[in-house]
Amino acid sequence: MQLLIKNELGTDDKLYKPDFSSKSGRELLAFYLQTKFKQIFLFDKKQETPIINNINSEFINRFTKRIINNPTKRLLIGVTGESASGKSTICHEIKNVIEQLAMPVTVLSTDNYFNDISTLINKYGSFDNLRDNGYDVDAPTSFQLDILRSDLEDLSDGLDVKAPMYLPNGTGVSMPKAIDVPSQKIIVVEGIATMYETVKDVFDIKIYVETENELRKSRFMNRAVEERNQSEENALKHWNYIAQAGERYVKPFRKEADLVINGNSDLKYFAQMLEYIHEITQFQG
């Protein structure tokens, strides 16, 4: 991948931006981008540990048309995956690389859109008791999806929003309009709700992060016991819940993702791929 970047930087054969108002100009640019993206995917496929596990057959054509026909519109990237799959890590790497390339980026978590369940937690005494009595925290009905959809549409149109903030302290409190979210050129949204039915079509790129169950379980248990001071018994109980919820609510959307990413991939290599995509989408003129 580093060789591809060097070749792109060193070549004098740069593509000058065609006239977007002409059909021939748009078709030329679409062909160029499609060729370059296919080059990336073929290169990755030959690696010992590829980053890309699967590509939607319609993605390259649809994405290049989106860049050409709506070049000034904000780019929304949705990243989902089962719990402890590595989606937050991938998102932060995307953000870091984009910032290094001096491009404005916003990262938003759909976890902020959980419903306020403070009354239910007070009734049952704790979040764990509420969960054990059947509350399905990962179900689509447990999110403020109407507000999430509205906020994403506004961000896509270049409007700043004030997102809710769900407090991760066990109280179940959700504070409305508590987070200032600027509409930057690139907006990365992560969380299990990004591919739920009422919001998934807003995204220009839909990424599903996929990781082996045993590795996910190890990550989850370590985080719960060491970072959140949960007992191993309760952490295991919660793992069993989220594993079942992931199978029910998240995994079915894998087949609809544009890109299925290996959640245990080399982040340095992943960063290089992002850098190369940046290089091939920068045109002179």
Question: Residue 205: what residue type?
Answer: I
In whole angstroms, how far apart are CA 32 and each of 68, 109, 204?
11, 33, 19
Pairs from 88-95 (Cβ < 8 Å, separation ≥ 24): 88/190, 89/263, 89/267, 90/190, 90/207, 90/209, 90/261, 90/263, 90/270, 91/188, 91/190, 93/267, 93/270, 93/271, 93/274, 94/188, 94/274, 95/188
Lowest mean pLDDT among 25-34, 98-107, 178-187, 214-223: 25-34
pTM of the model: 0.87
Question: Residue 239: what residue type?
Answer: W
Fold of 69-264: Rossmann fold (3.40.50)
pLDDT in tens, 109-159: 999 999 999 999 999 999 889 988 999 999 999 999 999 999 999 999 999
pLDDT in tens, 11-56: 555 545 556 566 677 777 778 888 888 888 888 888 888 999 999 9
Lowest mean pLDDT among 20-29, 92-101, 190-199, 243-252: 20-29
Return residue ranges of the chain for CATH 3.40.50.300: 69-264
In whole angstroms, how far apart are CA 103 and each of 91, 233, 241?
15, 45, 39
The angle at the Cα of 220, spanning 216 to 223, to the nearest 5 degrees, equals: 140
